Amino acid sequence: MKFTAKIIADFTKGEVIGNPDEVVSDISRIEEGKKGTLAFLANPKYEKYLYTTEASIVLINRDFQLNGNINATLIRVDNAYDAFTSLLELYTKMIPEKKGIEQPSYIDPSAKIGENVYIGAFSYIGPGTVIGSNVKIYPQSYVGDFTQILDNTTLYTGVKIYHGCYIGRECTIHSGVVIGGDGFGFVQQPDQQYRKIPQVGNVIIEDCVEIGANVTIDRATMGSTIIRKGVKFDNLIQIGHNVEIGENTVIVSQAGIAGSTKVGRNCQIGGQVGLAGHLKIGDNVKIGAQSGVSNSLKDNETVLGSPALDVSKQIKAMIVYKSLPEMSKRIAELEKELKALKERL
C-alpha cells in the first residue's frame, strides 16, 4: 500500500517540508533508507544519517534544527518516535486478520469459545476452558483444562498454558512461552534425595500484558503467581512460583526472579538481572543490567552491580575496582619500604 507525504502528515498532524506528493510503500531505518521508504529521526546520535539517507520521507521532531542539506521530504511532528509508532500501528491493522478454526485441532466439547476467534492447526483447547471474543491462538498451542483467556488476547505459535491459569484482556504472548509450569519446589530427605512439593496454585496475568518469546512463568505452590496490568516482558525471562510483578513494570531479557519475591509498580529491570527469593522490591525501582539483588529495595531506589548497590556508590566502587592492580602493586611497595624502615630502627 502506498502513502503520500500529505496523507502521512494529515494522520500524524505534521507539517510537510518538501514534496507533499512524495510516495512511500515501505519503512526503513534511517541509516539504511531506500527510495520509496519512510524513516524517522528521534535519537540525536543518528542525525548524521539524516543528510545521507536515501529514504523518501523522514519524520523529525518539530523543534529539530537542520544543519545541512536534506534530500528527503521531511514531516515535522511533535514527537517523531510516537508518530512513527502510530503509523506502524495503522499498518498492522491493515494486515488481514486470521479467523476461524483450522483443522486438525482439538477443542473439548465443554470449552466455551467466544465470537470471531482464530484457532490455528494442531492446537489443543482443554475441557472447561473459556476463550473470549477476538482471541487468536496460533498453531501448535496448548491451552490446559479450566484456563480462561479473555477478549482480544493473542497467543502466538507454540504457547503452552497449563491448567487453571487466567489470562486477561488484550494480552500478547509470543512463541515458546510456558505459563503455569511447576515451580521449583523440593525438600531434601535424610538420604539426600529430593522430594517434590506439589505445586497446586496457578498463574494470573492481568490485562494489557505483553510477554516475549520463550518466557517461563511458574505456577504458585499455593495461591497465585501474579503478573499485574500493563507489565511488559522481553524474551527469555524466568518468573518463579508465587512471584508478583506490579503494574506497568518492564523486565528485559534473561532476567530471573526467584520464588515469592514481590516487585512493585513502574519498575525497570535490566537484562540478566537476578533477584533472590522472598524479597520486596518497592515502586519505581530501577535495576541496572547484570545486577544481583539479594536484599529488598525501597521505593524509587536505583541500583547497579552484583551485589547490587545504590548506583552512585556502585560507580565509585567500580572506579576503585579498576585501580586495584595498581593499588595492589603500590601497597606491596609500601610494605617493602615499611619493612626496611623497621629493620633500620
User: Using an 8 Å Cβ cutoff, are 180 and 202 in contact?
Assistant: yes
The separation between the first and the last C-alpha atoms of the chain, rounded to the nearest angstrom, is 91
Annotated active-site residue 241? The verdict is yes
The three-class DSSP label of residue 125 is strand
**Cα separation values, 150 from 125, 159, 290, Å:** 14, 16, 35
DSSP codes joined into one string, 7-67: HHHHHHT-EEES-TT-EE-EE--GGG--TTEEEEE-SGGGHHHHTT---SEEEEETTPPP-
Cell numbers 497446586: residue: 200
CB atoms within 10 A of CB 344: 5
CA nearest to 226, candidates 153, 303, 168: 168
**Cα separation values, 204 from 7, 75, 171, 225, Å:** 42, 43, 12, 6
Residues with catalytic roles: 241
